Amino acid sequence: MAELGARERELLEDAASWRLIGLAFERPRGDWAETLLEIAKERAVDRDVAALAKRAASEATEAEFLAALGPGGVVSPREISYRFMGDPGRILAELKLMYDTYAFMPVTEEPPDHVSVEAGFVGYLRLKEAYALMTGDGESAAVIRDASHFFVAEHLVYLAAGIDGRLGDGWLADAARELVRRVGPIRDDVVTAITAADRADAYDCSDGCPLGPA
């Protein structure tokens, strides 16, 4: 195996940071806090993400998490919630295909379009790209890099835009800000989709709904 180069080191650092972001969006239980702190100790982790992990480990509670992101919480942690014109079945099938293609098998209670799962997948792809480069397989590394860019642009960006600014001022808000920073500028079509989803959620159907939101 080749010695680590600058790109490989960058990918490993990114993988560790994405892993922590994904963990921050998981339900706090068991050894969750200990896992966050253990990964945050690694030199490869981004300083801001390490600070996020330490804050989460010290202040997070399961009750607060459920109130924010749990069933009936104030913010949906699922991609399909922000894809108003998208077919949920198709979106979930596409996610499953990508996960299966790269043998991504997270141990989680959450659905495949949950923010913790999608963030974890990006970190997993970063790790696979680094390994491909370390073994001299530049072709596979390029394919994985393209898949990662596609996944962020066509899936994770909707989640980042959807939850941004809606989670108060705790560890989850920090995680949301870090997510937005990492996915990059939000496209106009994503903003339109989020706005449409908001209008659909806010529509009052107490007297019966027409075919779509006003």
Of 175, 182, 181, residue with least CA distance to 149: 182
Please write the tens of the pLDDT for every residue from 87-109: 999 999 999 999 999 999 999 99
Predicted local distance difference test score (pLDDT) of residue 200: 61
In whole angstroms, give the CA distance from residue 18 to residue 124. Answer: 8
Predicted local distance difference test score (pLDDT) of residue 85: 80
In whole angstroms, give the CA distance from residue 194 to residue 144. Answer: 28
**What is the CATH superfamily name and number for domain 6-201?**
TorD-like (1.10.3480.10)
Predicted local distance difference test score (pLDDT) of residue 206: 39
Amino acid at 101: T
Please write the tens of the pLDDT for every residue from 110-126: 999 999 999 999 999 99
Amino acid at 162: G
Predicted local distance difference test score (pLDDT) of residue 86: 82
In whole angstroms, give the CA distance from residue 106 to residue 125. Answer: 13
Predicted local distance difference test score (pLDDT) of residue 95: 97
Predicted local distance difference test score (pLDDT) of residue 1: 53
SS (H, E, C) 155-176: HHHHHHHHHCCCCCCCHHHHHH
In whole angstroms, give the CA distance from residue 172 to residue 204. Answer: 29
| The model's pTM | 0.88
Predicted local distance difference test score (pLDDT) of residue 214: 29
**Burial call 151-179: b when 16+ CB within 10 Å, e when fewer:** bbeebbbbbbbbbbeebeebbbbbbbbbb
Determine contact, residues 170/75, Cβ cutoff 8 Å.
no
Predicted local distance difference test score (pLDDT) of residue 201: 58
Predicted local distance difference test score (pLDDT) of residue 208: 41
Q: List the domain boundaries for the chain.
A: 6-201
In whole angstroms, give the CA distance from residue 111 to residue 90. Answer: 14
Sign of CA dihedral 104, 37, 69, 149: negative
> Could you tell me the mean pLDDT of each successive run of 10 residues in the chain, 214 residues long?
80 94 95 93 85 94 95 93 89 96 94 97 97 95 97 95 91 94 88 78 42 33
In whole angstroms, give the CA distance from residue 56 to residue 60. Answer: 5
